[in-house]
A = this chain, B = another copy of it.
Amino acid sequence: MRETRISLAHGNGGRFMRELIEDLFARHLHNPGLDIQADAVRLDLPPGDVMFTTDGFTVQPLEFPGGNIGSLAVHGTVNDLSVAGADPLYLSLNVFIEEGLEVALLERVIRAAAEAAADAGVRIVAGDTKVVRRGEAAGLYLATTGVGVRPAGLVLGLGAIEAGDRVLVSGPVGDHGTAVMLAREEFGMRGDLRSDAASVHPLTSALRDLPGLRFMRDPTRGGLATVAHEICRARNLGLRLDETAIPINDPVRSVCEILGYDPLYLACEGRVVAVLAPADAEVALQRWRALPSGAGARLIGEVHAGPARVVLHTELGGQRILEELEDDPLPRIC
């Protein structure tokens, strides 16, 4: 491509668009499954249950320590398949580009998406590009849809949760939300914090064969607190969380104290919350801790037959109810 900025002509179905697709998208995303001339591509799927999920991405800023909107869009959908118990295999990528976006930035985003896909073992095999007027789309929105295959017969879900089940988290919470927040110039703060954005597939596949595994979810928008509420609501059960057990990195804690945020409501993009029968909780924890991405895993709480609310047992022996999120503390985090 000779142009340095995206113009409306890059989205019109003609020559400029073909050059954008061939010179930028196809060059970085090249893989045996991608056919830019086809209306639809054939997926080669191993035996098992075919799983399907989708997610949209509007993060601001588009680049942040530890990733950008491209790697995030891949990790987000890879992770939704992973927590459902599947092996992620194929992705589609939709790109909405604002007229005037720097081609170099778009290239960094697509390169990061390609690298994240390669790391996670998924292929981006379908895509579409739309260019919208200056002022729309805040530079770039992405959407990814994923297809994966789950071992036949594996049933996971909120509906499987029972009183007495244990709740684990795979590592410190709130890093992604805090890293993106600090990348916004409005806060005028800088730090060493990096997003935790990553594929959680190594974590989820490590637990899949445990008969007591009930449910897994990655705590993204709304954070750990929102997943805790989903656990309560689904079966009308109570949830006790031990505040001292919940891992939070020191820089995240400091930034949240200064700015008045609660890290339990901030997004992670590379963590897993898992609910397991008591008999399997300890082995799950050991398996996670044996993985690089699970070194900080902790047992953080227990489901019980009490009223359907999330109660946080605090460091000083007190209790407080963790309310459902009403107003987003940090919009545009994913």
Residues of B within 8 A of A128 (CB): 54-56, 143
Q: A92-131: which have CB < 8 Å to B?
A: 92-96, 125-130
With A150-B42, A157-B38 in contact, do A325 and B15 touch (Cβ < 8 Å)?
yes
Please classify the interface of chain A as helix (H, G, I), strand (E, B), loop, or mixed, using the class held by over half of its residues: mixed
Q: Interface residues of A, CB < 8 Å — how many?
A: 73
A49 sits at the interface (CB 8 A): yes
A295 sits at the interface (CB 8 A): no
Bound: A136/B41 CA distance, A: 32
- Is B8's CB under 8 angstroms from A126's CB? no
A84 sits at the interface (CB 8 A): yes
- Is A54's CB under 8 angstroms from B9's CB? no
With A12-B222, A325-B14 in contact, do A40 and B51 touch (Cβ < 8 Å)?
yes
Residues of B within 8 A of A143 (CB): 56, 94, 96, 128, 143, 145
- Is A50's CB under 8 angstroms from B39's CB? no
What residues of chain A have their CB less than 8 Å away from a CB belonging to chain B? 8-9, 11-16, 37-43, 45, 49-58, 80-81, 83-84, 86, 90, 92-96, 125-130, 132-133, 135-138, 141, 143, 145-148, 150, 157-158, 217-218, 220-222, 226, 230, 234, 324-328, 331-332
List 3 A-B pairs, minimum CB-CB distance, nearest first: A12-B328, A13-B221, A13-B222
